[in-house]
Amino acid sequence: LAFGCPGVLAMLGLEAAAPGECELTRLLQDKLQYEMRLQYMKHYFPMDYVLQVQYEEVLRPANVTRLRNKTVSEMALRYLWFHVSSQAVLRIREVLPEKHPSWKYTQELCQLFDALGKEYSKYRQ
């Protein structure tokens, strides 16, 4: 999971279009820093724990490059990242008990993704 204004989106060579989207992706970038992901998504999970995902649920930079080369719009790529990332966080939340050390972290991620989803819904109207 990696996006943001200009820093996080830079991974995919994108920039957020609207100030609200930019601020939300910056907050997501802060929450998705390597150290936080390591602490909450690796150290707090049982060893050898596996969460099954479909191939389509993984967004790789090479796939984004391929889509960009096929002239997929920047907005469509941002929305794709949002969709894949928010669904991944929801899948993680499904298996976490409320007392798990990562519960609050994933709750905050879900709230940020919900807010970002509301920003994107404005674009569709």
44 is a domain residue: yes
DSSP helix/strand/coil, 51: coil
Domain with 105 in it: 19-123
71 is a domain residue: yes
How many structural domains does the chain have? 1
The answer to whether the beta carbons of residues 45 and 102 sit under 8 Å apart is yes
As a whole number of angstroms, the distance between CA 30 and CA 75 comes to: 22
CA dihedral 75, 92, 107, 117 (to 10 degrees): 20
pLDDT class of 4 with cuts at 50, 70, 90: very low
The answer to whether the beta carbons of residues 63 and 114 sit under 8 Å apart is no
Q: Output 117 or 49, whichever has higher pLDDT.
A: 117
* pLDDT tens digits, one per residue of 79-109: 888 888 898 889 888 888 888 888 999 999 9
* pLDDT tens digits, one per residue of 23-72: 898 899 899 888 888 888 777 776 677 777 777 777 777 878 888 888 88
- Nearest to residue 45, comparing CAs of 86, 105, 119, 1? 105
What pLDDT shows up at residue 46?
67
14 is a domain residue: no
> Which CATH number goes with the domain that contains 75?
1.20.1250.80
pLDDT class of 15 with cuts at 50, 70, 90: very low
